[in-house]
Amino acid sequence: MSIEITMPRLSDTMETGSILKWNVGEGDSVSAGDAVADIETDKATMEMQVYDDGTIARILVPEGQTVEVGTPIAVLAEKDEDPREIAAASAPPLEPAPAAQEPAPAAQEAPAAAPAVPAPDPTASAPTPATAAPVPAAGAERLRISPVARRLADEHGIDVSLLQGSGPGGRIIKRDVMGALEAGRETAAALVPSAAAVAVPTTPVELSPAAAVPPAGVRLEPGLVPLSNARQTIARRLVESKTTIPHYQVTVTFNVDPLLDLRRVLNEQLAAQGVKLSLNDFLIRGCALAIHQHPEFNASWAGESIEIHGEVNIGIAVALPPERGGGLVVATIRQADRRGLREISAEAKHLAQKARTRGLTIDEMAGSTFTISNLGMFGVDHFTAIINPPNSAILAVGAAQELAVVRDGQIVIGHEMSATLSLDHRIIDGATAAQFLVSLRQLVENPATLLV
Amino acid sequence: MARIIEFRDALREAMSEEMRRDPRVFLMGEEVAEYDGAYKVSRGMLDEFGPRRVIDTPISETAFAGLGIGAAMMGLRPVIEFMSWSFSLVAADQILNNAPKMLYMSGGQFGCPIVFRGNDGAGGQLGSTHSWCVESLYANVPGLKMAIPFDAYDAKGLLKTAIRDDSPVFFLESERLLSIKGEVPEEEFVVAFGEALVRRPGTGCTVVSFGRPLYFCLEAATILAEEGIDCEVIDGRTIRPLDLAAIVRSVRKTNYCVVVDQSWPFASVGAEIAAQVHKACFDDLDNHVVRVHSDDVPAPYSYDLEQQMLPNTRKICEAVRSVTYNA
């Protein structure tokens, strides 16, 4: 009779345990008393022993997986049994319930044309955070969801990675989606009045029904979130950037009333052609033009020299949805100084959309010489960004806010937008940075100059 | 004007009306004439139509099936009765090689407007050799049509259509249904092939079946309604041609599907329908299609064992609960 090994209750209060490490594999012989796995509990990491002699026929729960006490985690074949027969007869290995742990990036959709790149060569000019190539990493699990549940979630804009599946193996089924929809409807209705208090963002914030207040009595799901190689690489590069580049910040506030007016006029005229310019599009152009007057902003640290680049390629930071692994990538708009607003706008939209769906190619992510990160659409006032190597600077843009401002010695209502440069002090000093911002401000506050 | 008559009477009326209407139609089989039919389906027909049109045969299925096929090829419209579809196995070469393929093999020169009919499925302790459900075996063959009536009304309407159809039709009755009474109009009517019927409308789970198991499905639906599961029971009526559109319409509404097929599971009509539903309704399904069949064993002789082997009400209830995640 084969023996089912279940997650043991290693402490009184233990309800779930994580298999940190299996010390045995399928086919290994064990004796009573052997420590076969390291289990992490609510209190500590402890060894799990087997109490019988036999052979490990099947491992049902892999490393890194959290399960409830009592869940079968392995099957032991006794001395007179054939482990392979026992393995064949036992249930297939448990795949992690995806709603309990964030699914690793890009597991559901086939990767785009992006080649399978692990960590890029650090000396290459490819930007750091942009190496989030949309390739399923080792250990990425497929979300378990029924076809109709997926379709309903898509139709109603519900984020399936936030759902707890009640079907077999944690499968998300129709009632889970309908439940989230109902819950979202109730809380969204309650949230609506406060939405009006948010400052004017550059693009309107849509309240996702899934971003609801959790029902009373519900706890967070503890567990380990496996990170893809891409995400680990981004992490490494961010630390490298922040710790090796001497960062400092310079902030400026723009009067964006002229820009908002110009944008409105242009969008009205171009609506029929399907063009909708965003504030960020103007900023991309503005930065590209300002860089021409301040070439250190188009440079890279080269150890014993500073390399000034010929092309002005502006990188734009794009936030990825959880299904694509979360985090952010930088899409590159090449030669932004030589392209018009309309072209920049179309390119920015196209790249952002592609990044969120099929993922970007290495080419689309590489080669930026300056990066813009914009959190204005989320209503953020002001923030600082981490330089995207090998750039020399990054511009962090906040929301255009309606404030009481001073114009011509009078207090009036106006719109102002904060922008903060993070700079590499080895390449750009404070005075240079200030001058760049003066140029940028000239352009932004006289936006007609961005059109020529 | 509808009257209440038995399923067997409905069959007889269909045959008699068609024989009156078309002199080419005749009935042939074991005990159909002098004995009034092994199950009294053809009672009185010998008296009305005479021995040239209601013909007793020796116990030789290959011979009289082949005779019928030859007659059909030459322009007559035979109705060949098998005392049980189990016996059709003896005539398999005739009914599978000759009848459905004749039009094709003769390059269009000879059709085969023949109807083979008889009792299909468990008859009640008839043992493993006499309890065949042949639908899954034969439905695989291109060139034939297959109908399987649920009640007296459909028995008459489908049999008339079968006799008028120029294709060979396999008409699957059930010994257990012959005494079932139902309302059947006196006026002329037919039931078309390829049009399924919703026997019980519902919104919670689609249950598709043919013939006798539908009675178990309806019983299960009543039980499940008490549990809050509202089944929609669909009578496919004809296996070939299959009214997939009706099933798809239902599954798009309910998101769950159970197929109940009295034949054995492997390579069955149930498997075929499940495959077609998976393909057509992939984005509408909340769970895979669940099939209920007779157990994969030869039909037992013992009464209790036979009842447990069938796709009975208990199994259908379990299937519906399972597919709707209410197990």
H/E/C letters for each residue in chain B? Answer: CEEEEEHHHHHHHHHHHHHHHCCCEEEEECCCCCCCCCCCCCCCHHHHHCCCCEEECCCCHHHHHHHHHHHHHCCCEEEEEECCHHHHHHHHHHHHHHCCCHHHHCCCCCCCCCEEEEECCCCCCCCHHHCCCCHHHHCCCCCCEEECCCCHHHHHHHHHHHHHCCCCEEEEECHHHCCCEEEEECCCCCCCCCCCEEEECCCCEEEEECCCHHHHHHHHHHHHHHCCCCEEEEECCEEECCCHHHHHHHHHHHCCEEEECCCCCCCCHHHHHHHHHHHHCHHHCCCCCEEECCCCCCCCCCHHHHHHHCCCHHHHHHHHHHHCCCC
- Region B109-124: mean pLDDT is 94
- Cα–Cα distance measured from residue A273 to residue A350, given in angstroms and rounded to the nearest whole number: 16
State both tokens at A415: 């719109």
Top mean pLDDT of A8-17, A58-67, A180-189 is at A58-67
Which residue in chain A has the smallest CA separation from B287? A146
- Region B303-309: mean pLDDT is 94
Higher pLDDT, B3 or A141: B3
A150, A167, A174: residue with CB nearest B255:
A174
Least reliable range by pLDDT among A125-134, A167-176, A439-448, B183-192: A125-134
| Other Cβ atoms within 10 Å of B189 Cβ, number | 11
Which residue in chain B has the smallest CA separation from A166? B325
Is a pLDDT exceeding 50 seen at residue A165?
A: yes
Disruptive mutation site among B286, B287, B290 for chain A (greatest number of A CBs within 10 Å)? B286
Q: Please give, rounded to a whole number of angstroms, the shortest distance from the CA of B259 to a CA of chain A.
A: 19
What residues of chain A have any CB closer than 8 angstroms to a CB in chain B? 146-151, 166-167, 173-175
- Cα–Cα distance measured from residue B88 to residue B65, given in angstroms and rounded to the nearest whole number: 9
State both tokens at A174: 């129709």
What pLDDT score was predicted for residue A213?
72
What pLDDT score was predicted for residue A137?
42
What ipTM is given for this predicted complex?
0.76
A91 pLDDT band, cuts 50/70/90, is: low
- Cα–Cα distance measured from residue A294 to residue B174, given in angstroms and rounded to the nearest whole number: 92
* Owner of token pair 């995806």: A98
- Cα–Cα distance measured from residue A442 to residue B4, given in angstroms and rounded to the nearest whole number: 94
What pLDDT score was predicted for residue A89?
67
Find out whether the peptide bond into A72 is cis, omega within 30 degrees of 0.
Answer: no
B255 to chain A, any CB pair closer than 8 A? The answer is yes
Buried b (16+ CB within 10 A) or exposed e, B225-245: eeeebebbbbbbbbbbebbbe
Interface of B with A in 278-307 (CB under 8 A): 282-287
Find out whether the peptide bond into A93 is cis, omega within 30 degrees of 0.
Answer: no
Q: A174 and B283 in contact by Cβ < 8 A?
A: no
For residue A101, tell me if it sits in a domain: no
- Interface A–B counts its CB contacts (< 8 A) at 26
Helix (H, G, I), strand (E, B) or coil at A1: coil
Amino acid code (one letter) for B189:
F
For residue A267, tell me if it sits in a domain: yes
The closest of B30, B23, B100 to B63, measured between CA atoms, is: B30
Q: B283 and A148 in contact by Cβ < 8 A?
A: yes
Is a pLDDT exceeding 90 seen at residue A377?
A: no
Which residue in chain A has the smallest CA separation from B282? A147
What pLDDT score was predicted for residue A116?
40
Is a pLDDT exceeding 50 seen at residue A201?
A: no
DSSP string, A196-211: TTS---SSPPP--TTS
Which residue in chain B has the smallest CA separation from A145? B286
- Region A65-83: mean pLDDT is 85
Q: Please give, rounded to a whole number of angstroms, the shortest distance from the CA of B207 to a CA of chain A.
A: 18
Least reliable range by pLDDT among A35-49, A389-403, B32-46: A35-49
For residue A155, tell me if it sits in a domain: no
Which residues does chain A have within 8 Å of residue B287's beta carbon, measured at their own beta carbons? 146, 167, 173
Helix (H, G, I), strand (E, B) or coil at A131: helix
The residue from A51, A71, A89 where one domain ends is A89
For residue A112, tell me if it sits in a domain: no
A146, A151, A166: residue with CB nearest B287:
A146
Which residues does chain B have within 8 Å of residue A175's beta carbon, measured at their own beta carbons? 325
Which residues does chain B have within 8 Å of residue A164's beta carbon, measured at their own beta carbons? none
Chain centroid to CA B251? 23
Q: How far is CA A112 from CA A116, A126, B299, in A?
A: 10, 19, 54
Which residues does chain B have within 8 Å of residue A160's beta carbon, measured at their own beta carbons? none
A355 pLDDT band, cuts 50/70/90, is: confident
Is a pLDDT exceeding 60 seen at residue A230?
A: yes
For residue A115, tell me if it sits in a domain: no
Selected catalytic residue, list B130, B173, B175, B293: B130
What is the pLDDT of chain B when averaged over all its residues? 97
Which residue in chain B has the smallest CA separation from A175? B286
Q: Please give, rounded to a whole number of angstroms, the shortest distance from the CA of B227 to a CA of chain A.
A: 17
Q: A146 and B285 in contact by Cβ < 8 A?
A: yes
The residue from A41, A65, A89 where one domain ends is A89
A321 pLDDT band, cuts 50/70/90, is: confident
Q: A147 and B287 in contact by Cβ < 8 A?
A: no
What pLDDT score was predicted for residue A326?
76
Our CA angle for A180, A184, A189, nearest 5°, is 160
Which residue in chain A has the smallest CA separation from B323? A167
For residue A237, tell me if it sits in a domain: yes
Is a pLDDT exceeding 70 seen at residue A353?
A: yes
Q: How far is CA B198 from CA A363, B22, B34, B150, B152, in A?
A: 58, 32, 40, 12, 16
- Region B74-79: mean pLDDT is 97
Amino acid code (one letter) for B75:
G
Q: Are B294 and B257 a contacting pair, CB within 8 Å? A: no
Q: pLDDT of A114-151, one tens digit each? A: 444 444 444 444 444 444 333 444 444 678 899 999 99
Please return the burial class of A175, using the count of CB atoms within 10 Å of its CB with bins 0-12, 13-18 and 19+.
middle
- Cα–Cα distance measured from residue B215 to residue A190, given in angstroms and rounded to the nearest whole number: 50
What pLDDT score was predicted for residue A10?
83
All domains of chain B in start order, with CATH: 2-185 (3.40.50.970), 197-322 (3.40.50.920)
Work out how many domains chain A is built from and give that number: 2
Selected catalytic residue, list A292, A294, A350, A425: A425
State both tokens at B152: 């007296």
Q: B287 and A166 in contact by Cβ < 8 A?
A: no
State both tokens at A14: 């233990």
Q: A147 and B285 in contact by Cβ < 8 A?
A: yes
Pairing assessment for the beta strands A299-301 and A306-308 based on DSSP bridges: antiparallel
Tell me which DSSP letter residue A51 carries: -
Is a pLDDT exceeding 60 seen at residue A207?
A: no
Q: B286 and A149 in contact by Cβ < 8 A?
A: yes
Q: Please give, rounded to a whole number of angstroms, the shortest distance from the CA of A134 to a CA of chain B.
A: 25
For residue A130, tell me if it sits in a domain: no
A147, A149, A166: residue with CB nearest B282:
A147
- Region A272-289: mean pLDDT is 91
Tell me which DSSP letter residue A172 carries: B
B322 to chain A, any CB pair closer than 8 A? The answer is no
A425 flagged as catalytic? yes
Q: Please give, rounded to a whole number of angstroms, the shortest distance from the CA of A189 to a CA of chain B.
A: 28
What pLDDT score was predicted for residue A224?
81
Which residue in chain A has the smallest CA separation from B279? A147
Disruptive mutation site among A146, A164, A175 for chain B (greatest number of B CBs within 10 Å)? A146
A219 pLDDT band, cuts 50/70/90, is: confident
Is a pLDDT exceeding 60 seen at residue A113?
A: no
Selected catalytic residue, list B31, B61, B232, B306: B61
Chain centroid to CA B65? 19
Phi/psi of residue A22, nearest 5 degrees: -90, 130
B130 flagged as catalytic? yes
- Cα–Cα distance measured from residue B191 to residue B154, given in angstroms and rounded to the nearest whole number: 7
Q: Please give, rounded to a whole number of angstroms, the shortest distance from the CA of B324 to a CA of chain A.
A: 10
Is a pLDDT exceeding 90 seen at residue B183?
A: yes
Domain of residue A280, CATH code: 3.30.559.10
A272 pLDDT band, cuts 50/70/90, is: confident
For residue A306, tell me if it sits in a domain: yes
Least reliable range by pLDDT among A89-98, A308-317, A368-377: A89-98
Higher pLDDT, B184 or A202: B184
Which residues does chain B have within 8 Å of residue A174's beta carbon, measured at their own beta carbons? 255, 286
Q: Please give, rounded to a whole number of angstroms, the shortest distance from the CA of B327 to a CA of chain A.
A: 11
Least reliable range by pLDDT among A49-53, A131-135, B251-255: A131-135
Q: A148 and B325 in contact by Cβ < 8 A?
A: no
A147, A166, A173: residue with CB nearest B283:
A147
* Owner of token pair 């310019």: A277
Domain of residue A277: give its range: 229-451
Q: How far is CA A443 from CA A29, A407, B137, in A?
A: 74, 18, 80
- Region B41-56: mean pLDDT is 98
- Region B212-220: mean pLDDT is 98
Q: A173 and B283 in contact by Cβ < 8 A?
A: no
Q: A148 and B255 in contact by Cβ < 8 A?
A: yes
Least reliable range by pLDDT among A28-32, A42-46, B313-317: A42-46
A208 pLDDT band, cuts 50/70/90, is: low
Q: B284 and A147 in contact by Cβ < 8 A?
A: yes
Which residues does chain A have within 8 Å of residue B285's beta carbon, measured at their own beta carbons? 146-148
Q: Please give, rounded to a whole number of angstroms, the shortest distance from the CA of A177 to a CA of chain B.
A: 11
- Cα–Cα distance measured from residue A364 to residue A221, given in angstroms and rounded to the nearest whole number: 36
Least reliable range by pLDDT among A6-15, A115-124, A308-317: A115-124
Q: Please give, rounded to a whole number of angstroms, the shortest distance from the CA of A145 to a CA of chain B.
A: 9
State both tokens at A12: 């009184």
SS3 of chain A: helix, strand, coil, percent, to 5: 35, 25, 45
Higher pLDDT, A389 or B26: B26
Q: A173 and B325 in contact by Cβ < 8 A?
A: yes
- Region B228-245: mean pLDDT is 98
Which residues does chain A have within 8 Å of residue B282's beta carbon, measured at their own beta carbons? 147
- Cα–Cα distance measured from residue A289 to residue B119, given in angstroms and rounded to the nearest whole number: 88
Higher pLDDT, A47 or A116: A47
The residue from A45, A67, A89 where one domain ends is A89
Domain of residue A53, CATH code: 2.40.50.100
A401's enclosing H/E stretch is: strand A393-407
Side by side, which strands form the sheet with A35-40? A45-49, A35-40, A16-22, A66-68
Which residue in chain B has the smallest CA separation from A168? B325
